[in-house]
Amino acid sequence: MSTALVFSGQGAQYTGMGKELYENSPAAKAVFDMAESIREGTIRQCFEGTKEELSVTINTQPCVFITDLAAAAAVAEKGVKIDCVAGFSLGEIAAIAFAGMLSYEDAFKLVCKRAELMDKAAKENPGAMAAVMKISPEQVEEICKGFEKAYPVNYNSPAQTVVAAAENEIDELCEKVKAVKGKAVKLAVSGAFHSPFMNTAADGLAEYLKDIDLKEPNIPIYANATAEPYKDDYKMLIAAQVNHPVKWQKSVENMIENGADTFIEVGVGKTLTGLIKKINADVKAVNIENKEGLDTL
């Protein structure tokens, strides 16, 4: 049996996330306490923050990241052997921390910087996102070609692709999807992530990473930008992830091809668990975000 640990991204955040992990796992508590020592108020935001407060990018990313990492620490504390990791969008930073490329402290500081840069880019270059279902990724790509600023950005599963577009184009794009019998749902996000709308954020992150020392990962990390294990220019992969599509389906398929038959989603919600089951119904997929999940594990 080969086990993959996958880290959730932003979008599934909720009030109280991580609280049961904090109360039931010494390893998870240590991760939260570390974050609190760097960014005061993080624990309060995770456990008590309102939906509105948690939806602001500069709050969302640190809070989701630390819940992801705390859940992973709780899994490791149970003695589970992890053979490879991947993270969806923001979750990839938690994955590289877990795999030893960065200390938890430096990874948390990187996430805070990433959130700041992406929030700034979203305000300077407004955009919107929508999840497209019931049609193929190729059909989504074709629809996007008909717009000036529309891009497929998250290749989630055979039947779900997320697009980013200019605010004045997203409604018409959704109508085009419906016209070919697809379904489009606008997402409650503050920017057009993983697209050229985030170019300045990617540039800023690349600049920030110049002074960061990255170590060799101790287990394979599958990169969003390539769907392959990290190799060559690690810093480029981390920065490029911000303004390039997330190749999630291909990442999961490659992990399975390389032996993964059990997936443990750590962090907030069970979005990735659902996507993995749609990508390949033969693998085992579970999510760990609270005491019940830890007990099941």
Q: Which of 89, 190, 195, 251 is catalytic?
A: 89
Q: Sheet holding 84-87: strands in order across?
A: 221-222, 84-87, 3-7, 262-266, 284-288
Contacts of residue 274, defined as CB under 8 A and 6 or more positions apart, other chains included, come to none
**DSSP sequence for 29-45:** HHHHHHHHHHSTTHHHH
CA distance 44 to 34: 14
Is 89 considered catalytic here? yes
Is 194 considered catalytic here? yes
Nearest to 139, CA basis, from 164, 160, 165, 115: 160
CA atoms within 13 A on the CB side of 238: 25
Please tell me whether residue 66 adopts helix, strand or coil conformation. Answer: helix
Q: Which two tokens stand for residue 233?
A: 């220019």
Whether the CB-CB separation of 8 and 272 falls below 8 Å is answered with: yes
Contacts of residue 182, defined as CB under 8 A and 6 or more positions apart, other chains included, come to 132, 133, 134, 135, 139, 140
Q: Which of 8, 25, 157, 194 is catalytic?
A: 194
Alpha carbon separation from 228 to 59, 158, 256, 278 (Å, rounded): 30, 18, 12, 20
What's the first-to-final CA gap in the chain, in angstroms? 15
Q: Which two tokens stand for residue 126?
A: 């407004």
Whether the CB-CB separation of 64 and 114 falls below 8 Å is answered with: no
Alpha carbon separation from 241 to 16, 72, 189, 266 (Å, rounded): 28, 22, 17, 20
Residues labelled as active-site residues: 89, 194
